[in-house]
Amino acid sequence: MVNDQTAGHLSVGYMHTTAITGTGEITILQFNALGLDTTSLSLSNAYLNSTPVTDLMPGIVIITETAPPTAVITYSDTAVRFADTLLISASFSEAMDPAVLVLLNLEGAHSLMDAEMTRLDELTYSYLFPVPRAGGEVIVTLGNGTDLWGNPVVPDPTEGGSFSIIPFIAGDVDDDGVILAYDAALTLQYSVGMDPLPLQDPMPWESWRDSTANVDGTGGITAHDAGMILQYSAGIISDFSGASLKSASGTYIIMELVDHHLVFYSHGELLGFNLNTVDNQGMLGIPVILNEDFMSAVNISGNNFRVGLCTAYPAPEGTAVMKIPVSGSGQLTFHMMVNTVERVLSMDLATGMTKMDRSPIEIYPNPALDRLKIRGLSGTAALGIINIHGQLLLSTRMETESGELDVSALSPGVYMITIQMEGENIVKRFIKK
């Protein structure tokens, strides 16, 4: 006899004219599952004949599902390039077990196995993928993860199972598939703080474009990068490998005061030359390029004075490549990038004497994110940060040999740091990410 009239309660009775002997099950109850859940069972008021059964044990019925979870993969960008950071997101069809890691696998143009995804909520996971120097299709699968019932995830996504990396071409700054003198011109302009692609990619350039221009792989984008690109466009070189090592040795610039002009003489295989200074007194005039083989970019904004030169054919030894009209008296300090080597040179306009910075100031990391560290100071130094328009954004003093500046409030872009100490005015360039 079964009585199921009361919700949540079930009464069962059994009798027979023949006595039950031996051991074993007396009653087996079969239930039909109505939903996914956990149900507690408790037994009471059990009798065997007229004898109460005192040893009654409760139980739990767990109703689970067996369908495995699936995922849809989405991406933060459709144009995926070297030096980008791609956000890969997985949206699951049901809640996932937080105790079981969800792993990501990549195959094809780039291989990556068992990368741990970050759990955002019970349905959503993500992974930040720094895009390598590769090109082609990348297949995406999931290597781990279960739902709350322990069912393993289906490895192949239902959508978004692949993405493509656009092939990286060093030197192709405008991204048209060929390397031309125009790419060198864009690079040269950028090296002096000009904005050569204001509509297509305003400063600071996206990471991938920055990488296409920085062909020598040292520091930021300089006139030397432009010179290497110009050489490639002319067929003088066939690749950019070993560029910085080859061009760093035996190349230098001599600066002299001649007839109220600062004249710059090239020695060695000069391909790129950047000159930066802060002209507070307005002593410098418009630069004159003396060698027709050199491409030039000039950016004079307020007190900020910047020049870039590059060439595919180095000038003959000792040739004057540029002169700058100068007036007044006092001292000017120039920050130079001669190919890939930094130089700091001071000129006394009254005597024409020059002095090389014998204790180079180091700033790092460059590019900087939140902090810009400085090393090599002596005495009390006055520091200032100037943007590409010559505006002073930050000023402070430092009395130790090394320290750091908080640049977290600066917008991404190119800046100059001025360091005044012991009668010298040193200027260095850095990039804020």
Write out the residue limits of the CATH 2.60.40.1930 domain(s) in the chain.
71-166
Mean pLDDT computed over every residue of the chain: 87
Phi, psi dihedral angles at 190 (to 5 degrees): -65, -35
pLDDT tens column, 143-194: 999 999 899 999 999 999 999 999 999 999 999 999 999 999 999 999 999 9
Global model pTM greater than 0.85: no
What pLDDT score does 230 carry? Answer: 95
Question: What is the b/e burial string over 150-170, where b = at least 16 CB atoms within 10 angstroms of the residue's CB?
Answer: ebebbbebeebbbbebbebbb
Closest residue by Cα to residue 302 from 389, 383, 386, 385: 389
Q: What is the DSSP letter of 147?
A: B
What pLDDT score does 245 carry? Answer: 43
What pLDDT score does 244 carry? Answer: 45
**DSSP letters spanning 79-131:** SEETT-EEEEEEEESSPBPTTS--EEEEEESS-EEEEEPEESSSSEEEEEEE-
What pLDDT score does 36 carry? Answer: 66
71-166 is classed CATH 2.60.40.1930? yes
Write out the residue limits of the CATH 2.60.40.3080 domain(s) in the chain.
361-433
Whether the predicted pLDDT of 34 surpasses 70: no
Class of domain 361-433: mainly beta
pLDDT bucket at 10, cuts 50 / 70 / 90 = confident
Write out the residue limits of the CATH 2.60.40.1780 domain(s) in the chain.
175-358
Size (the chain), residues: 433
Instruction: Report CA torsion sign: 182, 187, 193, 198.
Output: positive
CATH level 2 (architecture), domain 175-358: Sandwich (2.60)
CA 285 to chain centroid: 39
pLDDT tens column, 100-150: 999 999 999 999 999 999 999 999 999 999 999 889 999 999 999 999 989
Q: Which of 11-20, 241-250, 261-270, 405-414 has the lowest mean pLDDT?
A: 241-250
Whether the predicted pLDDT of 248 surpasses 50: no
pLDDT greater at residue 316 or residue 427: 316
Q: What is the DSSP letter of 177?
A: S
Q: Which amino acid is at 340?
A: T
Q: Which amino acid is at 116?
A: E
